[in-house]
Amino acid sequence: EEQLVESGGGLVQPGGSLRLSCAVSEFSFNTYDINWVRQAPGRGLEWVSYIARSGDPIYYADSVKGRFTISRDNAKNSLYLQMNSLRAEDTALYYCATSYYFGSGLFKWGQGTLVTVSS
Amino acid sequence: NFMLTQPHSVSESPGKTVTISCTRSSGSIASSYVQWYQHRPGSSPLIVIYDDDQRASGVPDRFSGSIDRSSDSASLTISGLQTEDEADYYCQSFDASNAYWVFGGGTKLTVL
């Protein structure tokens, strides 16, 4: 069965960095665009970033622009999110999710990885 | 960016029908497709409706989606409610001008 598995979450101090990974198995990773979506405690879903199957284009939500960097390695079936200058408001469960084309819905989701930014 | 506004919560009895609305703040609801996601506690979000009114694979036909151009709103209707339908439901659309995926605030559905 097709699966996305996130990892790399944890506790980090404000101003620190963290790198999330999303490993994909059982399907052709390079045929999908992929997004990061997060959910802060007690809040709703928030789109964070998008990367096309070729690696370009890339887009970010205003709340993370300039601090987060999305990338992918199609040879390793993996997606990454480098998060720098982390803030308390970045505390959330981070999901990776596939989309079929630019602007489409998000069809397959991972189980999420928790990021906590606190001193 | 436009916003999508949903009621905070709705409740209905098992076997009944419920409709959850999603209103776009600016621009036409028809300018980008609307999706709906079911999110149960402890689970990942699950797409139930895509492209306004298409049921995702494996989703029962009790779930249906529609848009209303006159009110710039979308709706998710669930008929024959079951206790397992209890979840948070999010609408989502795409802001093509700014390359932004927009989510509604979510609606908590209680089946009691």
- Please give, one letter per residue, the 3-state secondary structure of chain A: CCEEEEECCEEECCCCCEEEEEEEECCCHHHCEEEEEEECCCCCEEEEEEECCCCCCEEECCCCCCCEEEEEEHHHCEEEEEECCCCHHHCEEEEEEEECCCCCCEEEECCCEEEEECC
**B window 37-56, beta carbon within 8 A of A:** 37, 39, 44-47, 50-51, 56
Edge to edge, what strands does the sheet with A3-7 contain? A3-7, A18-25, A78-83, A68-73
Counted across chains A and B, CB pairs separated by less than 8 A come out at 60
DSSP output for B32-94: S--EEEEE-TTS--EEEEETTTEEPTT--TTEEEEEETTTTEEEEEE-S--GGG-EEEEEEEE
Closest-approach residue (CA) in chain A for B52: A105
- B102: chain A residues, CB-CB within 8 Å: 47
Determine whether the interchain pair A106/B44 forms a contact, defined as Cβ–Cβ distance below 8 Å. no
Report the pLDDT value the prediction gives residue A101, as an integer from 0 to 100.
87
The rounded mean pLDDT for chain A is: 95
Report the pLDDT value the prediction gives residue A2, as an integer from 0 to 100.
75
Nearest of A38, A40, A41 to residue A49 by alpha carbon: A38
Report the pLDDT value the prediction gives residue B67, as an integer from 0 to 100.
98
Closest-approach residue (CA) in chain B for A48: B101
Give the tens place of pLDDT for each residue, A3-48: 899 999 999 999 999 999 999 886 688 889 999 999 999 999 999 9
Report the pLDDT value the prediction gives residue A25, as an integer from 0 to 100.
84
Q: What is the pLDDT along chain B (112 residues), one digit of tens a residue?
A: 899 999 999 999 999 999 999 999 999 999 999 999 999 999 999 999 999 999 999 999 999 999 999 999 999 999 999 999 999 999 999 999 999 999 999 999 999 9
- B101: chain A residues, CB-CB within 8 Å: 35, 37, 47, 50, 103, 106
